[in-house]
Chains A and B, each alone.
Chain A
Amino acid sequence: MRVILETKVRPKPFLPIEAESIIPRNFLKGTDLTVYEGNKERALSEIFWIFVEGTAVSPDKVEVVLKGDTARIKRVGEYMDTGIIRIAGDIGMHCGNFMSGGLIEIGGNADAWLGREMLNGRIFCRGNAGHYCASGYRGEKHGMKGGSVEVMGNAGDFCAEYLTGGTVHIHGSCGDMPGVEMKGGQLVIGGDATRPCGNMKAGTCMVFGTVHYMLPTFRKTGTQVLPDRKVTMDVYTGDVANRGKGTLMIASRAHFP
């Protein structure tokens, strides 16, 4: 079953929409759902043109497609456990919160907190991600625990903060402090990063671009050659200011042999 939600023109297009009800499982029983626009509860049909194609017997066969001006729609896919959400354009904050299964594909950019505290499943973003991509919520000590987040563009600050499990792959560059307080999992940054992995306790972070403002509390332990990527990595042991566990690997200036 495919559910296509195309945004209608809103009188106040800047009002954010809280749309935690948009998950595939909810559409099994129909499209009689509500979302909040500002502090007003709205029927889904007030915000979107809804087109339903086909039927489904289980939620994993449901595909939700969002089109139009979706950049201010927040919490899409929160607690999603199966099925597919495809977003043609940009998506608002908190997309894929606590997600435990399924796939979210974003054609444009994602706002902050993409895949926050996700447990499993997969998020794929063709554009850029905002701050706190794949992180924990403020104050929370465990961020993303499993699954994978892949961003083709850049990510903002505090990417993969408190990463505890799963993989985060940013093909572009990260802002300040990616992988800070990492406790597990794998963070791969294709481009540059600033001050990565402060206070990391476990897990692995790889940076293939340049690191700016490298923290002084990492100890170099050697180098490692990654033949499939044709690159030599400098290997550092995790933040010695906090028990020195975990691994930070940064592309070396030395030539690939």
Chain B
Amino acid sequence: MTELLVKNACVIDPLNGILLETMDIPVRDGKIVSSVSSAADVIDARGCLTLPGGIDSHSHVCGTKVNFGRYMSPEDMRAGRTARRGKMHVTSGYYVPTTFGNSYRYSTMGYTTVLEGAMAPLEARHTHEEFTATPHQDMLANTLFDGNWAIMESVRERDFKKTAAIVAWTLAAVKGYSIKLTNPGGTEAWGWGDDLSSIHDPVPNFNVTPAEIIAAMIEANELLGLPHSVHLHCNNLGKPGNYRTTLETFDLVPDKNNARQTLYATHVQFHAYGGTTWRDINSKAEEITRSVNAKPQIVMDMGQIMFGRTMTMTADGPMEFNLYCLHHNKWSNHDVELETGSGIIPVLYSKKSLVNCVMWAIGLELALLTKDPYQCLLATDNPNGAPFVKYPEIIGLLMSRRYRDEEFATLHEGTGQRTAIASIDREMDWNEIAVMTRAGQAKALGMAAQGKGHLGEGAEADIAIYPIRCHAVDPATEYRKVVEGFQKTMFTIKRGRVVARDGEVIVEGANSTFWVNPSVPEDLSVRNDPEFVRKFREYYTVRMDNYPVQDVYLPRGKCIRTEGAL
């Protein structure tokens, strides 16, 4: 039995309605309890800001495409090098760091849970191996279904139960956590050199539309009772005028779950462009947020960009090809048989580029114009918008109008005409930031039930103590202190164990990988569906028996069994 007592913590715990209360947090065996014995180890938080461990609900840190980003950018490995020190491994890289680099940087920022934004089912083993080497965060894997042939065929037959059964089998086989749709249908069309320009275009050879895929997957998701909603990267990413597609997509979403939202729209900044070409691109964040404010069933994340070099990586192959045509730089394109694809290119977001400045402003506008912070979460789609180490700066920008104005003054002069950022007065408070970085994620991902994102009794003792005295700091003017405070925790506690102290990781990590095994009645199971089995044998290059990820790939896997309505 190990016991720990965090004393004098100034706690914000939005899910339990605690706002800046100074209290003690007793921890026993990795869980938060009501009291501990006097023999417990004591950590004195000295009245500093104490939050539940941070959760990143959309980040690309592990898996084949991240690793290919590493292959592609040996020059990045020259940045961010740290030598082996104590329990810390050697790290290198800035926008595509090594797995340990990712893990340590997240940990020193107080993040204890990360959702990998896109895992190709066929390449799940690689993702899980890298999860194991990201030892300080509990990991979840979004599983890609956007171009899955079996799914599209079942959608065409309008057989939601079959769709659900395929999802259930695949999630359990590849140890995934939730459904990810990346440019649904578009990536499959890209396999034929094509893309879809609206959600009502039919996918070549399948005769289904993205709208039908999205609707069916939402239906299947709720039939299975998955903890997370459908996680959607909308069609037409990064095309001027794409906000119409985004609004149309949002209109498809019914409200089907009381515990969480029904759709998670990711990196919406990239989907909120007006205009017709790059020359007249402008912000449509107001239209997008108006729609989201009226639809409590939708949660989005910002997909904020920050200026500097980074790497874009996504399963949205055609979009990356368009970007390549703009940049004429390195480009990788990858097809995952029968399932999805991906593309990778490096980018430089520059203040000299009006388009980049408009993108920067849109991300902030989305956050500031969304009334309920539970509906707009803080993320950069790491590393697509910016590496996650920029989160503290984004927090500063959200909390301080003055910081925004100072940044705005350094941007391309045309930015003001294309965006509304300069006229927004809102400054977020500590509670809203806590929601946007942990509580909102816990709710959207359905991880609150697993004891994540809150500090109530029975919760996992994932605690981040930042060197910020909330009562003594005015974030509107002293935003530098806020940014610095969020960059390095005093203590990051993971499952009751101090893992990082003052920016230094002090133990070997031991994370868990959460995965979902939905229960499906035997007669609906795809294993007993001769049609599915036959097509699997004929089309895949692997056998159905060899497809599932073996338990050895998840040394600390945690299975969540869901009971649905099938």
Contact = CB atoms under 8 A, between A and B. Distances in A.
| Chain B binds chain A | yes
Interface of A: 137-141, 242
Interface string B70-91: 0011111010000000000000
B74 A141 contact: no
Nearest to B329: A141
Given A137-B78, A138-B75, A139-B330, 4 more contacts: A137-B74, A137-B75, A138-B74, A140-B75
Interface in B155-176: none
B328 A139 contact: no
Q: Which of B74, B75, B330 has the most CB of A within 10 A?
A: B75
A4 to B, nearest CB: 32
A40 to B, nearest CB: 14
15 contacts: A137-B74, A137-B75, A137-B78, A138-B74, A138-B75, A139-B72, A139-B73, A139-B74, A139-B75, A139-B76, A139-B330, A140-B75, A141-B75, A141-B329, A242-B328
A39 to B, nearest CB: 10
B85 to A, nearest CB: 15
B330 to A, nearest CB: 8
A139 B74 CA distance: 5
A242 B76 CA distance: 25
Contacts of B73: 139
A140 B330 CA distance: 10
Contacts of B78: 137
A140 B75 CA distance: 5
A1 B329 CA distance: 46
A6 B180 CA distance: 63
Contacts of B72: 139
A137 B76 CA distance: 11
A140 B329 CA distance: 11
A141 B348 CA distance: 12
A141 B78 CA distance: 14
Q: Which of A137, A139, A140 has the most CB of B within 10 A?
A: A139
Contacts of B76: 139
Contacts of A242: 328
Nearest to B75: A139
A139 B345 CA distance: 12
A22 B434 CA distance: 50
Contacts of A138: 74-75
B436 to A, nearest CB: 35
A200 B72 CA distance: 20
B348 to A, nearest CB: 10
B446 to A, nearest CB: 40
Contacts of B330: 139
A64 B559 CA distance: 64
